[in-house]
A = this chain, B = another copy of it.
Amino acid sequence: MDNQEIRKAGLKVTLPRVKILELLEASVPRHVSAEDVYKMLLEKGEEIGLATVYRVLTQFETAGLVTRHNFEGGHAVFELDRGEHHDHIVCVLCGKVEEFMDATIEERQKEIAAEHGFEMEDHSLIIYGRCNNTSCPGRE
């Protein structure tokens, strides 16, 4: 049950929080901005404020329920955290996001952090490229 996740995070189980979590679970695409979440909920007839969406997403991030990414474009996107870490490939033409996970890279990162006297806490790897999707604009 969703509610348990929220409760375990030390947060009250309120309607906005449940709705946002439900939406993230059902969300396609998986990477959405706060604005996206807000609009999607409004369209579903929910009554919610944008400030709440930001607050809740930040709380979820702190609680480890969602991950925040700073892709290009001046606004953050969030995705539900399903336990397994992964990195991203973003198409610079159509914005499509794919996920991947590579043990070799993960391992090297830890080593590199250690070599520099850092204790790795997190990392962000984003590959930008042009995808070969036929529906991708900017192709000819």
Chain A residues close to B by CB (< 8 Å): 70-72, 89, 91-92, 98, 100, 102, 104-105, 108-109, 112-113, 115-133
Contacts and interface: CB of A to CB of B under 8 A. Distances in A.
Contact of A108 (B105, B118, B132): B105
B118 A127 contact: yes
Nearest to A98: B116
B113 A129 contact: yes
Contact of A113 (B120, B122, B127): B127
A119 B112 contact: no
Contact of A118 (B89, B117, B120): B89
A131 B92 CA distance: 33
